[in-house]
Amino acid sequence: MNRAQLFRPATFTVLTLLFVLALMANSFAMGGGGDKDPPPDNTRKLKLNPLDESSNTYGWVRITADNLMLGANRVKPDTFYTVYFVNGAEKQAVGEHATVRSTGSGEFKFQSRLTEPLGAKWAKVVMYTHTDNLEPVTESNLQPLMEASLR
């Protein structure tokens, strides 16, 4: 094939197409360009249910291997709430700073790092309201408001 024949439009198009296909094949062989599934999402997504059936509050819980996030809407504005793990009569505050105040618009957002695997020790996550609206937690000022089952 001489130089004049090499640059004929049809020959040039075929050679260009072969070159592009060779590059694509090389790219796929090296692991690029293929559809790959994203890493699995191991987040547990739970619904946070109000304990009072007439309540219009709603919420969610997201749990990963090392983090717990909880959110609630339509709660009492500017009120203190504390989040606990509960199993029967036993309960434990979630994280070091388990008490958070809701916003003026009635939104509550909580996040805590988990220092150990959740395991099967706890049956549910419970959001308690402080009936006296004071930050310090006492057994007399806590009333369960919403919960999510962990089982």
Domain boundaries, the chain: 1-34, 44-149
**3-state SS of the chain: helix, strand, coil percent to 5?**
20, 40, 45
pTM (two decimals): 0.72
C-alpha 68/C-alpha 79 separation (Å) is 21
Helix (H, G, I), strand (E, B) or coil at 5: helix
In the structure encoding, which two tokens stand for residue 63, read together? 């749990």
pLDDT for 117: 75
Facing residues of 112 across strands? 68
Q: If one looks up domain 44-149 in CATH, what number appears?
A: 2.60.40
- What pLDDT is recorded for position 97? 92
pLDDT at 7: 55
User: What is the residue-level pLDDT of the chain in tens, covering all 151 positions?
Assistant: 565 555 566 666 766 766 766 766 665 555 555 556 666 678 999 999 999 999 999 999 999 989 999 999 999 999 999 999 999 999 999 998 999 999 999 999 999 999 877 777 899 999 999 999 999 998 899 999 999 999 8
